[in-house]
């Protein structure tokens, strides 16, 4: 965390913080608060850190936020992931429709990086003392009063904290306990994905390949270290899940039956049990994320469709801003009010745009040039606004 912020916090207003979830959001927030002298403890349901999650695109807004929390981390992520200089759009026959040289660095001061969720988790966890990350702690609820929050876990002792942050993802127990909304919304897109050690000459010159089919598309990302992340999505008004891993693999290969063998090969090379199948979901935006001593962050606060690749990026913005608010405010209530004011409107717009973008992915190439041009201008303006986010205290 930068020096100005640490200096402002000579008297932290909270001593002990419990964070639920050791994903990108929980870990980044823990680093940010810990560097302000706060006693932070992170509780994660997984029994151990293990290869999981998808390939993520980290964009300038997320990288700027993360770099303000952990100066220099972008350099580490470049070596744990992959800097994207070239992207390519292909059709399902494998023919190139368009290639692009990315201009993020020139336009926004940070590159586009691709990184495996698991590697990102490892990089962030390595910045924290291991004893403050408590694995095998599945949170099942909490109780709060004016003295603090009691947090409950499945089969583990409860813990007490001054502040509880739910960074426990789209199916957040903390959000459910606060607002009781039930299941997330299915937004009409089914997803199959995996990360495997894989190389194909087709991907030599491009770090990111996007293949557009009929109501179906696939991303193939180089996520560094010899690993490839593939993500296939299909428009599907209703969804059903396969019964077992072998069925998942046969199903996705069936979905790609007409696709060029280079695309099918990456799926064929993936062990069935490593393929994740599931619906793409979001939730309606909330008007508040907090109640008294409890608040939300990342996917728990604003789960969004992956169309814009902004879930983790906006999560890092949350982590930075939350820590800033605690450094600036005299009470927990003031800090959380300020956090919501800084975050809800922005993430609401990005959530809405991501949901529209997810379905727009399935538009065919035949819309008129004029419509495509109008759409591109709107997208460019929106992307500019998203990527231009800068932490308020810049190093």
Ligand X SMILES: Cc1cc2nc3c(=O)[nH]c(=O)nc-3n(C[C@H](O)[C@H](O)[C@H](O)COP(=O)(O)OP(=O)(O)OC[C@H]3O[C@@H](n4cnc5c(N)ncnc54)[C@H](O)[C@@H]3O)c2cc1C
Interface ranges with ligand X (CB under 6 A): 20-26, 43-46, 54, 56-57, 62, 117, 137-139, 167-169, 173, 191, 193, 231, 298-300, 306, 309-313, 315
Q: Closer to ligand X by CB, 310 or 327: give it.
A: 310
Distance between start and end Cα atoms, the chain: 9
Residue 31 CA neighbour count, 13 Å, CB half: 27
Q: How many CA atoms lie within 13 A of 395 on its CB side?
A: 13
To the nearest whole angstrom, how small is the minimum distance from the Cβ of residue 13 to ligand X? 24
Smallest separation (angstroms) from ligand X to the CB of 24: 4
According to DSSP, the residues that pair with 294 across neighbouring strands are 164, 291
- Assess contact for 112 and 102: CB atoms under 8 A: yes
Minimum distance, C-beta of residue 366 to ligand X, in the bound complex (Å): 27
Which C-beta is closer to ligand X: that of 13 or that of 109?
Answer: 109
d(CA 115, CA 228): 10
DSSP for 244-294 reads: SHHHHHHHHHHHTTTS-HHHHHHHHTS-GGG-EEEEEEE-PPPS---BTTE
Task: Name the nearest CA neighbour of 342 among 36, 24, 65.
Answer: 65
Task: Report the C-alpha gap between 30 and 19 in whole angstroms.
Answer: 7
Task: Considering the complex, state which of residue 9 and residue 43 has its C-beta at the smaller distance from ligand X.
Answer: 43
Residue 189 Cβ, how far from ligand X at the closest point, in Å? 9
For the CB of residue 37, give the shortest distance to ligand X in the complex, in Å.
Answer: 23
Q: Rank residues 148 and 169 by Cβ distance to ligand X and give the closer one.
A: 169
The conformation of residue 45, written as its DSSP 8-state character, comes to S
Shortest Cβ 4–ligand X spacing (Å): 26
The least CB distance from residue 207 to ligand X, in Å, is 13
Locate 199 and state its tokens.
């190389």
Q: Which residues contact 99 (CB under 8 A, 6 or more apart)?
A: 86, 87, 88, 89, 206
The CB-of-78 to ligand X minimum distance in angstroms stands at 16
**Residue 81 or 169 having the CB closest to ligand X:** 169
Closer residue to ligand X, CB minimum distance, 164 or 300: 300
Closest CB 173 distance from ligand X, rounded Å: 4
Instruction: Give the span between the Cα atoms of 222 and 206, in whole angstroms.
Output: 8
Residue number, 52 or 334, with CB nearest to ligand X: 52
CA atoms within 13 A on the CB side of 307: 26
Which residue, 25 or 148, has its beta carbon nearer to ligand X?
25
Rounded to a whole number of angstroms, the minimum distance from the CB of residue 373 to ligand X is 26
**Cβ proximity to ligand X, 20 vs 77, nearer residue:** 20
Concatenated DSSP letters for 99-144?
EEE--HHHHHSS--EEEEHHHHHHHHHTTS-GGGEE-S--EEEEEE
User: Could you say which DSSP state residue 364 is in?
Assistant: -
- Smaller CB distance to ligand X: residue 39 or 152? 152
All residues at 6 or more sequence positions from 325 whose CB lies less than 8 Å from its CB, including other chains: 335, 336, 338, 339, 342
């Amino acid at each position: 965390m930068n020096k100005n912020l640490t200096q402002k916090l000579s008297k932290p207003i909270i001593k002990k913080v419990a964070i639920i979830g050791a994903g990108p959001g929980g870990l980044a927030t823990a680093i940010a608060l810990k560097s302000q002298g706060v006693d932070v403890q992170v509780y994660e349901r997984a029994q151990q850190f293990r290869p999981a999650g998808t390939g993520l695109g980290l964009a300038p807004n997320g990288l700027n936020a993360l770099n303000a929390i952990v100066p220099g981390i972008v350099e580490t992520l470049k070596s744990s992931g992959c800097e994207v200089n070239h992207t390519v759009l292909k059709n399902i026959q494998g023919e190139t429709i368009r290639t692009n040289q990315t201009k993020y660095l020139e336009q926004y001061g940070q590159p586009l990086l691709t990184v495996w969720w698991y590697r990102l988790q490892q990089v962030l966890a390595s910045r924290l003392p291991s004893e403050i990350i408590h694995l095998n702690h599945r949170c099942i609820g909490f109780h709060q009063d004016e003295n603090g929050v009691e947090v409950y876990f499945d089969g583990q002792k409860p813990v007490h904290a001054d502040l509880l942050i739910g960074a426990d993802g789209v199916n957040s127990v903390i959000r459910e306990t606060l607002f009781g909304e039930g299941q997330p919304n299915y937004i009409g897109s089914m997803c199959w994905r995996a990360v495997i050690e894989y190389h194909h000459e087709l991907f030599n010159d491009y770090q990111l390949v996007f293949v557009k089919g009929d109501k179906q598309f696939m991303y193939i990302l180089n996520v560094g270290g010899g690993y490839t992340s593939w993500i296939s999505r299909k428009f599907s008004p209703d969804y059903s899940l396969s019964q077992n891993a072998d069925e998942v693999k046969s199903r996705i290969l069936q979905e790609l039956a007409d696709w060029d063998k280079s695309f099918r090969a990456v799926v064929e090379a993936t062990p069935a049990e490593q393929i994740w199948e599931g619906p793409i979901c979001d939730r309606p935006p909330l008007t508040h994320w907090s109640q008294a001593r409890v608040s939300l962050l990342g996917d728990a606060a604003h789960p969004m469709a992956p169309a814009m690749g902004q879930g983790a990026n906006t999560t890092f913005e949350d982590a930075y801003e939350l820590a800033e608010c605690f450094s600036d405010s005299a009470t927990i209530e003031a800090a959380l009010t300020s956090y919501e004011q800084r975050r809800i409107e922005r993430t609401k717009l990005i959530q809405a745009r991501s949901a529209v973008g997810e379905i727009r992915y399935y538009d065919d190439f035949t819309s008129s040039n004029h419509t495509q041009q109008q759409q591109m201008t709107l997208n460019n303006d929106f992307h500019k606004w998203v990527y231009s986010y800068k932490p308020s205290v810049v190093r």
